[in-house]
Amino acid sequence: MDKIETEKKLNIIIISGPSGAGEDSIIKGLSKRFPIEMIITTTHREMRTGETQKNPYYFISEDEFMKRIKKGDFFEYACQYNGIHYGVTFEEIKRVQESGKIGIWKIEYKGVMSAKKLMPGIKAIFINAPLEILEQRIKRRDPNISEEYLKERAEYTKEWLKHRDIYDYEVNNEEGKLDESIEKIAKIIEKELGEAPLKE
């Protein structure tokens, strides 16, 4: 994989955090303030109820994913704890760079490490919350979640926290303080990417 070379000012910022950290809620809030274009990840996991192609992923078969790895189509990719691969193609990076909007890239820590090696200058924001709060939010999102799944997520989060030094910023998304978290990240975006035009 080659580094992304561009004469344009980098218009992409990473927002990253463990399950339950609240990245989606934060990104939704940011979209009301900035012209945003999401970088869409490709995966071979099964599409869930309510999901569609491009929302939230490009869904392809595992065989196709492996073929695209061999072809060198991916800017970065990683295998998560559950054996499912996720990755972003060079084509997708180019699409967002040329959109004229602020690119938001939501990835896990392995992807952040790859992105920082391959895209010099990109900034990454770590969204965090106490483990017990993360678990409460996951349960609230899906009351039928299994204890085994919660245990797996907790272990993965602990592993994630070992790599928090790879991030440029950390925002603690406390319970009941979503608007404050959005405001903090909005200021980071303005600082790193310049004064972006606010939406009417």
Q: What confidence tier does 98 reach under pLDDT thresholds 50, 70, 90?
A: very high
Is residue 102 within 8 Å of residue 189, measured between CB atoms? yes
Residue 139 predicted with pLDDT over 70: yes
Confidence (pTM): 0.85
| Whole-number pLDDT of residue 149 | 81
Give the model confidence (pLDDT) of 30-86 as tens digits: 999 999 999 999 999 999 888 999 999 999 999 999 999 999 999 999 887 678 999
Q: Which residues, listed in sequence order, are joined to residue 55 by a DSSP beta bridge?
A: 52
CATH code for the part of the protein at 12-191: 3.40.50.300
Give residue limits of the domains in the chain.
Answer: 12-191
CA–CA distances in Å: residue 7 to residues 10, 16, 28, 74, 98: 9, 26, 29, 21, 12
